[in-house]
Amino acid sequence: MLYLGCHLSSSAGFYNMGKQALSIGANTFQFFLRNPRGGAAKDIDNNDVKLFLDLAKINNFGKILAHAPYTLNPCSKDEKTREFARLVFADDLKRMENIPGNLYNFHPGSHVGQGTDVAINQIVEILDEVTPIAKNTTILLETMSGKGSEVGSTFEELAEIISKAKYNSVEKLGVCLDTCHVYSAGYDIVNNLNKVIEDFDRVIGLSRLKAIHLNDSMTEFNSRKDRHEKLGDGTLGLQGLINFVNHPALKGIPINLETPNELPGYANEINIIRNNYK
Ligand code: FE
Ligand code: FE
Ligand code: ZN
């Protein structure tokens, strides 16, 4: 089953996101629980959730993916920023319990000069504190491009976070692979896809791979930049991305587009991927 969707605005609620997804040929989606800068979250309306769950069931939706605010930095040098990350993370996970069985993705963060070792311990500390709140949600670490002082641009760093975390079963803690980010971080999924998948499996384990962000990239291979591009307009290219989604190891993993598009652009990309899915 191909679960394919894109990032949607959550302002109109879950049921409307579900309807919007259907209107563009999607059967999953990604969303923010609060504004991406980390502002106040709207209360979750149980009736809205119920309507969404019915719609999702009838239409065979895959798991949906909440994305943490971009400002959430669990390994900031600044204690206040880490405290904000802890509070937002905990509050988001509490909200996710209203839509059980889904996924919550976050950026491991930027260490801003503290070094990766200190950062990894800080990320683990926050995870150990918030994971017990997520009784019915899998928390995902996103693979990062390595821009600035980002943590999580190598599979080894992600594996280290996972192995140090107290609650690290595959149901509790996984990974979301972003195609633009890994390509920018030096994993050549265009010319060496099998090798990258093997590396992922050896270092992290494929059972941890719970979600995919499908993006082309504006910047060259190994650029350590994070600039998403529309599918086929970037350095990965359409064929590379089609080969990627068709890799047998990735079957059934929900895929979301985060390309610079409005709904019609997303509908077009979803259509292209569906037509080239074997
Ligand atoms: Fe992200
Ligand atoms: Fe992403
Ligand atoms: Zn990105």
Q: Which residues surround ligand 3, an ion (CB under 5 A)?
A: 226
Phi, psi values for residue 173, rounded to 5°: -140, 125
Q: Distance, CA 58 to ligand 3 centroid (Å)? A: 32
Q: Which residues surround ligand 2, an ion (CB under 5 A)?
A: 178, 213
Q: Calculate the dihedral angle through the C-alpha atoms of 65, 107, 141, 77, rounding to the nearest 10 degrees.
A: -150
Q: What ligand has the least distance to the C-alpha of 36? A: 1
**Are residues 274 and 25 in contact, defined by beta-carbon separation less than 8 angstroms?**
yes
Q: Distance, CA 136 to ligand 3 centroid (Å)? A: 26
Q: Distance, CA 180 to ligand 3 centroid (Å)? A: 7
| Predicted confidence (pLDDT) at residue 41 exceeds the cutoff of 90 | no
φ/ψ region of 107 (left if φ > 0, alpha if ψ in -120 to 50, else beta) reads beta
Residue 42's pLDDT is what?
81
The DSSP code for 145 is -
Q: What ligand has the least distance to the C-alpha of 104? A: 1
**Confidence tier at 37 by pLDDT (50, 70, 90):** confident
Q: Distance, CA 97 to ligand 2 centroid (Å)? A: 23
**Confidence tier at 89 by pLDDT (50, 70, 90):** very high
Q: Which whole number is the average pLDDT over 246-274?
A: 98
Q: pTM higher than 0.85, yes or no?
A: yes
Q: Distance, CA 129 to ligand 2 centroid (Å)? A: 24
Q: Distance, CA 100 to ligand 1 centroid (Å)? A: 21
Give the integer Cα–Cα distance in Å for 140 and 135: 14
Q: Distance, CA 174 to ligand 2 centroid (Å)? A: 14
Q: Distance, CA 256 to ligand 3 centroid (Å)? A: 12
Q: Distance, CA 246 to ligand 2 centroid (Å)? A: 19
Closest CA to 123 of 103, 139, 136: 139
* β 228-229/216-217 pair status: antiparallel
Q: Distance, CA 260 to ligand 2 centroid (Å)? A: 12
* β 228-229/65-67 pair status: unpaired
Tokens of 19: 């309807």
Q: Which whole number is the average pLDDT over 76-94?
A: 97
DSSP letter for each residue of 147-193: -TTBS-SSHHHHHHHHHH-SS--TTTEEEEEEHHHHHHTT--TTT-H
DSSP letter for each residue of 13-71: -HHHHHHHHHHTT-SEEEEESB-TT--PBPPP-HHHHHHHHHHHHHTT----EEE--TT
Q: Which residues of 176-200 are buried (b: 16+ CB within 10 A; e: fewer)?
A: bbbbbbbbbbebebbeebeebbeeb
Residue 88's pLDDT is what?
96
Q: Distance, CA 205 to ligand 1 centroid (Å)? A: 20
**Are residues 225 and 145 in contact, defined by beta-carbon separation less than 8 angstroms?**
yes
Query: pLDDT tens, 179-232?
Result: 999 999 999 999 999 999 999 999 999 999 999 999 999 999 999 999 999 999
Mean pLDDT for the chain overall: 97
Q: SS3 helix, strand, coil % of the chain, rounded to 5?
A: 40, 15, 40
**Are residues 181 and 223 in contact, defined by beta-carbon separation less than 8 angstroms?**
no
Q: Distance, CA 202 to ligand 1 centroid (Å)? A: 23
Amino acid at 95: R
